[in-house]
Chain A
Amino acid sequence: MRIQKKQLPIRPFDTIVKTTCPSCGSGCGLKVFIKDGRAVEIYGDEENQLNKGSLCPRGLMALSHLYQEKRLLVPLFRERLSDPFRETTWEEALDHVAGKIQRSLQASPESLYIRLSPHAGFGNIALGTVWGNHWGTPHIDSDLDPDSSAVAAVMRHMLGVEMNGCAMSARHEWSASQAMLLVGVDPATTDPVAFGAVLDAKDRGTRIMVLDSRNTRTMRKAHLPLKCRVGTEQAVLLAMAHVLLGENLGNEEFLKQWVDGREDFQSLCREYSPEMVENLSGVRKDKIIEAARALAKNFPSMMIGHSRAGSQETGAGLIFAMVAITAITGTIGCPGGGVNLLNNFPPIEIKNESSKEIKDPKASLVRAGNGTAAWRAIAEGRPYPIRGIIWDTNPLTFCPEGRKVVDALRKMDLIVYLGHYPNAAYHHAHVVFPLTTFLETEGLVFSSTGRNLQWADRTVFPRGKTRPAEDFWGGLMARMNFSSPYPFIQEKGEVNIREMTRYFLQKSPLLAGITPDLLDPERNLPGGIQWPASVSEIDFPNHRAAVRGREGLFRPGSQIPGTDKRFPTPTGRIDLSPVKISAETGFQNLARIPALMNGLKTNQLILLTGEIVDFLPSAGFWAIPQQFQIPLFVQIHPKKARELGVQSGDRILLENRRGKMEAPAWVTDQVEENIVFCPSGADPYDPNFPIASPRGLFEFVPENDGCGRKMLGSTIVNVRKAS
């Protein structure tokens, strides 16, 4: 009998509910199979054009998270951190939080810090921001705040559009690209399904080049791997620009018509000759020249980066160099061209309906484009103390200076944790609200690698007393009488999530034509809608791909909706001048790591951290059997491992003056000889995979270094075999 590839189970089921996985930027469509009200299987949705049935381990394990025994199912409460938790109800816990905030923090509303992650849903960010604005604190740390990222500031300055996903090609257009340069990203590990589009392009003949400081899984798939020293990615890019401008390989027509500041940029590149950069970065100069020529001679060529700039320090500077190269090759606005940032966010403006004066908004810690500033305020009380925190998922695993911060947390008046699992953030909280997973609630999903908005439907009823994060914020707003301008908040604080999403989408000119019903994969075509989509523009321009929405911004002859320009900067042209951008966004041209490397002593290595696929901020490591748990953790080069007498699986000790960390070693050539790498999300309280976190080894990153919201940078550690 002929057998077929069908995303269907052989287990019995009653119904199929279609939804969307919000775990990463790939935005995969899901089919959840229900039997007697219980989800029994989960498969990718072949009809969704973004994943075409593919699903990575994160999506596959969603059921495991849903029915995990250790999940938080009831609200918990305690007066002091030393007391045990007692069970309570949502209403009682909300009354307590509202009362406590009003009693303790009324005099200084700015001493409340709110950390909002997209892993608790769009509504969490939107309503958290709105509530924070009404309350009067400027310290609202969220991904949707364009000012919180220096990368977005660079894009805004150069291209004139808010948010960093604007210069992207949609994912179905990636195959139109003739050459791709992936800079400092490892989508094979972090966004596997999106990386499928890269491999599809490779099979069609696209030249794949990867520039990274680690020998990643992505790099192993490249035609031209450019392995550089840590932190020198930007220098390599500038050397490529040097070659492009020196050999006159640029798109002269585009440069003449659309680009300003070419001379300034050229004088910056002049310092970065391929010979000089070969010495600095370790990438051979003929490889740099080959890559530059490949970018210019194959049209269109595209760049793939990360909005939080993956594993290096030069976030904003790197994005600047990437946009500059695409401007020189003239591929911005071409299908299969442009700068494609994984994990970007759509231009949703969360407007403030309150007229409340926020005290001294310039003193905001978060808006400096530096995620560590707020943590410094928590730990050191500078520039003024933080006394209350509302956080979700697990921000604590990413904060530097672990010991100092934890000491400070013990003295807080109030810490509220919204989440799924008892992790580090839970153990430092006074009040705990159990949240639904994305299978138990509905909400907007940002499929950022495809520039799509999608909708996640509710597939099963929530377990225990879990509720969506929207209900927490709605409850607070109702109790504090902030809810009157918002029709979607009912009397007792319940939130109509569809109405809320429609309300916020309509406020953004680029998204006004999108409604939840149009996105809903149960009612409409799966795959969502590509933004920009103002009212009249929702159509099917690409029938073959069946992707709804306009094809992209910056197309030749088109204008950005709401303006009359192709590039809505003040001059209407792309500005490459590094001086102005540097002054405006505060990025440095080169990271400090190359300098660090020269001063290393024996047994000293540089510790870097990054994201891995086996981990989700909202849920920790996969709730999977012992045999799958990663037995190996800290990547170390074989040569260094031999010197230390370490084999894969042996425990090694990393320490510096701030702290130490012991973890199993993973001997691999993915890292250089003087580098050790470990995943950043480790948490000693993680219910599934408790392991020491590297955060205690890091110090606060200097302010205004343009790193955006990346918090753990790089640090020097002593490495030895644990006894």
Chain B
Amino acid sequence: MKLIYTGSQLPKNAEVADIGDEEVVMLVDVDRCIRCGTCQLACAVEYGEEGKPGDVRNLHVDEEGGKMQIFNLPGACRQCRTPCMYYDLHNFWIRCPDEKVSAKAKEPSCDLCLKRREGGYWPACATRCPMKTIYVGTMADIRIIIRDKQFRDYGELFVHGPQELPAD
């Protein structure tokens, strides 16, 4: 599972070309995220009792020095409890260091709602996002969305029809 951030303020980096077409990835459009926290609540509701939210798997909580900080950006990969260092770097394509499970991890980590996916549905956070910020799918599908998002900033490309992503 890979986590990709896109946004007009993030610098370009086409590492995404390396991801295989069949791999399931999550795309977060930072331009549309308003930090409402629905993704986190969705997770809590999905894994809680009926009408009673439970623990969250995708909440970014850092309890460094006894002070709680909440990062409200949606993110699926919570293999470790520390917020992803790739956050602050603001690279255009951010790849989550997958398969890196922290020894500190105490809670079940995110499996991208395997049960929902088996039922044919998107994960809870992506389904519930009111801003259409989060997309989940195979890389082949997500590439189309990424291209769409790029037209948002480079409108003239649209006139000439879909084009391959630039190599760099």
A-to-B contact residues, CB < 8 Å: 1-8, 10-11, 38-41, 43-44, 51, 54-57, 60-61, 63-64, 66-67, 188-189, 192-193, 195-196, 199, 203, 205, 217-218, 221, 613, 624-625, 627-628, 631, 647-649
Given contacts A5-B126, A54-B130, A195 and B68 within 8 Å (CB-CB): no
Which one, B55, B69, B117, B129, contacts A3 given CB within 8 A?
Answer: B117
- Contact status A6-B127, CB under 8 Å: yes
B36 at the binding interface (Cβ < 8 Å) = yes
Number of B residues near A (Cβ < 8 Å) is 44
Residues of B within 8 A of A195 (CB): 34, 131
Q: Nearest B residue to A204 by beta-carbon distance?
A: B152
Cβ of B41 and Cβ of A628 under 8 Å apart? yes
B104 contacts chain A at the CB level, 8 A cutoff: no
Considering the complex, give the chain A residue whose CB is closest to the CB of B72: A217
Q: CA–CA, A217 to B72, complex, Å?
A: 12
B122 touches A3 (CB 8 A): yes
Q: Given contacts A3-B120, A4-B122, A218-B34, could you give 11 more A-B pairs where the C-beta distance is less than 8 Å?
A: A4-B121, A39-B51, A41-B50, A43-B127, A57-B38, A63-B50, A189-B34, A192-B34, A221-B31, A628-B53, A631-B68
Binding site for A on B (CB under 8 A): 31-32, 34-38, 40-42, 44-45, 50-56, 59, 61, 67-70, 115-117, 119-122, 126-132, 136-138, 152, 155
Chain A residues contacting B137 (CB-CB under 8 Å) are: 2-3
A42's closest neighbor in chain B, by CB? B45
A647 to B67, CA, bound (A): 9
- Chain A residue at minimum C-beta to C-beta distance from B131: A196
9 A-B residue contacts at CB 8 Å? Answer: A2-B138, A39-B50, A63-B51, A192-B131, A195-B131, A199-B32, A624-B41, A625-B54, A628-B41
Provide the bound-state CA to CA distance between A199 and B149, in Å: 13
Nearest A residue (CB) for B116: A10
Please state if A3 and B32 are interface contacts (CB–CB under 8 Å).
no
Instruction: Tell me which residues across on chain A come within 8 A of B31, comparing CB atoms.
Output: 221
Q: B41 to nearest A CB, angstroms?
A: 5
The answer to whether B130 touches A44, judged by C-beta atoms less than 8 angstroms apart, is yes
B130→A625 contact, CB < 8 A: no
CB distance from A51 to the nearest CB of B (A): 8
Which residue from chain A places its CB closest to the CB of B155 in the assembled complex? A205
B41 touches A60 (CB 8 A): yes
Give A462 Cβ to nearest chain B Cβ, in Å: 15
B34 and A55 form a contact (CB under 8 A): no
Query: Are the CB atoms of A56 and B121 closer together than 8 Å?
Result: no
Residue of A nearest to B42 (CB): A60
Best-surrounded residue of A43, A205, A628 (most CB of chain B within 10 A):
A628
Is B41 within 8 A of A55, CB to CB?
Answer: no
CB contact between B67 and one of A5, A38, A188, A649 (< 8 Å): that residue: A649
Q: Closest residue of chain B to A195, judged by CB?
A: B34
Minimum CB–CB distance from A623 to chain B (whole Å) comes to: 9
- A11 touching B50 by the CB < 8 A rule? yes
B121 near A57 with CB under 8 A, answer no
CB distance from A20 to the nearest CB of B (A): 15
